[in-house]
Structure 1
Amino acid sequence: MDNILGQQGNDRPTVLVTNDDGIDAAGLRALVNVLVSTNRFNVFVCAPNSEKSAVSHSITWINDISAKKVEIDGALAFAVSGTPADCTSLGISTALFPAAPDLVISGINMGSNCGYHIVYSGTVAGAREAFFNGIPAVSLSYDWVRGRSSTTDFALAAEACLPILGAIMDEIRKKTYPLSCFLNIDVPTDVTSHKGYRISKQGESRVKMGWSKVTSEPPEGHMLSTMTMDSSPDSTASTITDSSCIQENLLFRRKVIGAQVEDGDTDYCGLQEGYITVTPLGALSPADIDAQTFFKQWLPGIYSSL
């Protein structure tokens, strides 16, 4: 390990990469390879040792977490037993690496993260945790579509975002980068024909989910991300065939029952139009002004009626 740390010792800025798909995910490996190939960054990797999609900003509080060194060419990497937020927290703490990173990048996620589904996203949480600690951060997702996308698209997505990442690093170096937000970037499916970058705002799009009782029928699909469903059968999913067992232990599986999308300059709309959307995010999502006005008038009335 000392030799690896020695190789990192230079004047290049340091990037910490994490994700929620796991350290072996094609998106993370492609991002790391592209970052390393530029020879512009020291690259640290601290990512979950298994799939952690849609865990949002959950953290490990009581139990210890483990970190195991993983060989990734050109990077110092560890697989961690915790959540994406855990991985970022550990990675920026200097308990694991010799120094805190200049920038945290969470991704590349397999599937977009737009609209309300940003709340569920472990990918976004990996960047948000860095933001909580005053470190510039980016969450990065690729709009994977089954039958159209391939793992080579992750490298193309990383390359398409390099100018943004380089510009962020320039602002960090000049100490002019704003620390009042972090960025959520979504890359369109047809990345080779993207229309450029577009600043967007978080919309209200979401996939509406319901539940179905597990039976012996093939499942309808499994979630690739918080905005993407894979409609292919999952042969590893549990099935129930014993009716007596169903009575004792009912099993249910999520299913898509619809979707809500919107028009305008939102992240989802820009992505569907073929843009690489760049959405500044804060820690919280305040209620809209009409709701705030309602409750300002509503709450005093409760007290006066006592």
Structure 2
Amino acid sequence: MDGGAAAISKPIVLITNDDGIDAPGLRFLVDLLVATNRYRVLVCAPASDQSAVSHSITWRHALSAKRVEIEGATAFAVTGTPADCASLGISGKIFDGVVPDLVISGINIGCNCGYHVIYSGTVAGAREAFLYGVPALAMSLNWMRDKSTVNDLKLAAEVCLPIVNAVLSELKNKTYPQGSFLNIDVPTDVAHHKGFKITKQGKYMIRIGWEQTNVNAPSMESYQTANIDVDMTPISENNASVPEESHLLFKRVLSKGHIEEDEAEDTDHKALQEGYITITPLGVLSHMEADAMPYFKDWVLHLASSL
């Protein structure tokens, strides 16, 4: 087999994220996958930080895709959301007909557990691929300000590599289940993790409130606002814009005193806090609490009788 044929036979992995194409988590993951020489690596990621945009998509206008040089990979920066990037990346339109075998979204700065899965652009990137039948993983590091370092993102990529290898091996053998995508969270102390643990999505949530402000600056943490010192040039933010006198500015703030957490042993955030790398299979359908259906069946009967 010649070198060209060997390259074509390699599994194809598409990387996206929500922190933006310059984020160190994405770059470390790409570098690691390229270094294995086992995979063909594609990148289709947001041109700027798209953290916490959930599963929003761009509908009313065209997206711009700009070629970006990342050694060993074919990469594009896209003026869209993580879901846009995943969708475009698997469409066959941007990579000359090539459709990836696996999509990986991350590695995100900050965990994506419990109810925060709903807000996560990282999870949305994986979910979008799954919606269109492409296996997908979302990866996040439980980043802690003043404790985590940029090297932890590199370690997170390394400890997640066995998951990537195992999934692609099972895909090749046609033994990988098609009914879910995987949400992976790596503990803060990556170097001393306790191993992998299959978990279910819990109810963990840090409540978010509002605060009036005079400055139009980012209020949520991303790689640009975390205490990371890397040789990259993030998208500039206008931190000094002042609204017109008749306008009010409000920013979101984390209400750390209002944390809801599911104490069940097999939930994602609890296991993450115990030091495990959590692997949570997720679907797309929204399921109600088990006791809600009988109530609403009875409720609609009374509703019909009142007409």
TM-superposition CA deviations, 1:168-222 (whole Å, max 9, x none) = 0111001111111000000001000000000000011111111111147x98x83
Gaps of 5+ in 1: 1-5
CA contact (8 A) 1:222 1:230 kept: no
How many residues get paired?
289
Which residue of structure 2 lines up, in the alignment, with residue 262 of structure 1? 262
Which residue of structure 1 lines up, in the alignment, with residue 231 of structure 2? none
Partner SS for 1:299: helix
Which deviates further from its counterpart, 254-263 or 73-82? 254-263
Which residue of structure 2 lines up, in the alignment, with residue 20 of structure 1? 18
Structure 2 residue identity aligned to 1:34: L
Structure 1 residue identity aligned to 2:259: A
Which residue of structure 2 lines up, in the alignment, with residue 223 of structure 1? 220
2:156 pairs with 1:160? no
Which residue of structure 1 lines up, in the alignment, with residue 298 of structure 2? 297
Partner SS for 2:9: coil
Structure 2 residue identity aligned to 1:63: H
Cα separation, 1, equivalents of 2:5 and 2:44: 18
2:30 pairs with 1:32? yes
Which residue of structure 2 lines up, in the alignment, with residue 277 of structure 1? 278
After superposition, residues 223-242 of structure 1 pair within 5 angstroms as 223-224=220-221, 237=239
Which residue of structure 1 lines up, in the alignment, with residue 248 of structure 2? 250
Which residue of structure 1 lines up, in the alignment, with residue 232 of structure 2? none
2:71 pairs with 1:77? no
Cα separation, 2, equivalents of 1:289 and 1:122: 28
Structure 2 residue identity aligned to 1:259: I
Structure 2 residue identity aligned to 1:17: I
CA contact (8 A) 1:109 1:140 kept: yes
TM-superposition CA deviations, 1:127-148 (whole Å, max 9, x none) = 0011001110000000111111
Q: CA RMSD in A?
A: 2.1
Structure 2 residue identity aligned to 1:29: R
Which deviates further from its counterpart, 284-293 or 160-169? 284-293
Structure 2 residue identity aligned to 1:224: E
Which residue of structure 2 lines up, in the alignment, with residue 186 of structure 1? 185
Cα separation, 1, equivalents of 2:91 and 2:141: 28
Cα separation, 2, equivalents of 1:112 and 1:174: 31
CA contact (8 A) 2:219 2:251 kept: no
Structure 2 residue identity aligned to 1:71: E
TM-aligned CA deviation for residue 300 of structure 1: 1.6
Partner SS for 1:112: coil
TM-aligned CA deviation for residue 293 of structure 1: 2.0
Structure 1 residue identity aligned to 2:68: V
Structure 2 residue identity aligned to 1:278: I
Which residue of structure 1 lines up, in the alignment, with residue 126 of structure 2? 127
TM-aligned CA deviation for residue 285 of structure 1: 2.3
Cα separation, 2, equivalents of 1:270 and 1:197: 10
CA contact (8 A) 2:220 2:253 kept: no
CA contact (8 A) 1:214 1:239 kept: no
TM-aligned CA deviation for residue 20 of structure 1: 0.4
CA contact (8 A) 2:184 2:277 kept: yes
TM-aligned CA deviation for residue 10 of structure 1: 2.5
CA contact (8 A) 2:123 2:183 kept: yes
Partner SS for 2:8: coil
Seq. identity, %: 55
TM-aligned CA deviation for residue 238 of structure 1: 5.1
What is the TM-score normalised by the length of structure 2?
0.89
CA contact (8 A) 1:139 1:183 kept: yes
Which residue of structure 2 lines up, in the alignment, with residue 3 of structure 1? none
Structure 1 residue identity aligned to 2:263: D
CA contact (8 A) 1:223 1:230 kept: no
Residues 173 and 224 (structure 1), Cα distance of their counterparts in 2 relative to 1, 3 Å cut: same
Residues 8 and 66 (structure 1), Cα distance of their counterparts in 2 relative to 1, 3 Å cut: farther
What is the TM-score normalised by the length of structure 1?
0.89
Structure 1 residue identity aligned to 2:123: V
TM-superposition CA deviations, 1:101-156 (whole Å, max 9, x none) = 00000000011000001001000000001100111000000011111111111111
Cα separation, 1, equivalents of 2:130 and 2:107: 18
TM-aligned CA deviation for residue 296 of structure 1: 1.5
